Amino acid sequence: MRFLGITLLALGLSFSLLTSDSLAKNYYPMTPSQKHFTAIIKQLRNFRTVEWVSPVSMWVQIPASQKSRAPELANTIEDRARDAMKQPVCVHIYVKKGQSLARSCVY
């Protein structure tokens, strides 16, 4: 009986760790080139957050003061992604979550 309790506790803890880890990260493993490219974009001062919503969809938040530059910023990131990542990717620029101001894609 004690073994069963310990086993259930261990399974519960493992499940909660896996669940919280998957919620904190994306639902898929990022490729090394995605991780590297994300780190580069995060260092630039025009961007607040950078996150991958899917394996080919990158969402980049900008300050409201940069709203008019959204298409230019999307194209700039897309140009850099073309050379750096060598994979299909769509860059979405937004101020408020889920509201894309501009989008640029590499196929």
Per the structure, the count of domains in the chain is 2
Gap between the Cα atoms of 104 and 27, Å rounded: 23
Segments of the chain assigned E as strands: 49-54, 57-61, 89-94, 100-106
Give pLDDT, residue 99: 87
Examine the domain organization and report whether 41 and 78 are in the same domain.
yes
Task: Give the domain extent around 4.
Answer: 1-28
pLDDT higher than 90, residue 8: no
Tell me what the pLDDT averaged over the chain comes to.
80
Helices (H) and strands (E) in the chain, counts: 3, 4
Q: What is the pLDDT of residues 18-56, one digit of tens each?
A: 443 444 455 678 889 899 999 989 888 888 999 999 889
Query: Exposed e or buried b for every residue in 34-53, given b needs 16+ CB within 10 A?
Result: beebbeebeeeeebeebebe
Q: List, in sequence order, every residue forming a beta bridge with 57; answer none if it has no partner.
A: 54, 90
Who wins on pLDDT, 4 or 105?
105
Examine the domain organization and report whether 40 and 89 are in the same domain.
yes
Examine the domain organization and report whether 96 and 62 are in the same domain.
yes
Give pLDDT, residue 97: 86
Q: Average of pLDDT values for 72-94? A: 90
Examine the domain organization and report whether 45 and 92 are in the same domain.
yes
Gap between the Cα atoms of 9 and 24, Å rounded: 22
Q: How confident is the model at residue 83 (pLDDT cuts 50, 70, 90)?
A: confident
CATH number reported for the structural domain that contains residue 52 in this entry:
3.30.70
Examine the domain organization and report whether 1 and 44 are in the same domain.
no
Examine the domain organization and report whether 40 and 3 are in the same domain.
no
Examine the domain organization and report whether 49 and 19 are in the same domain.
no
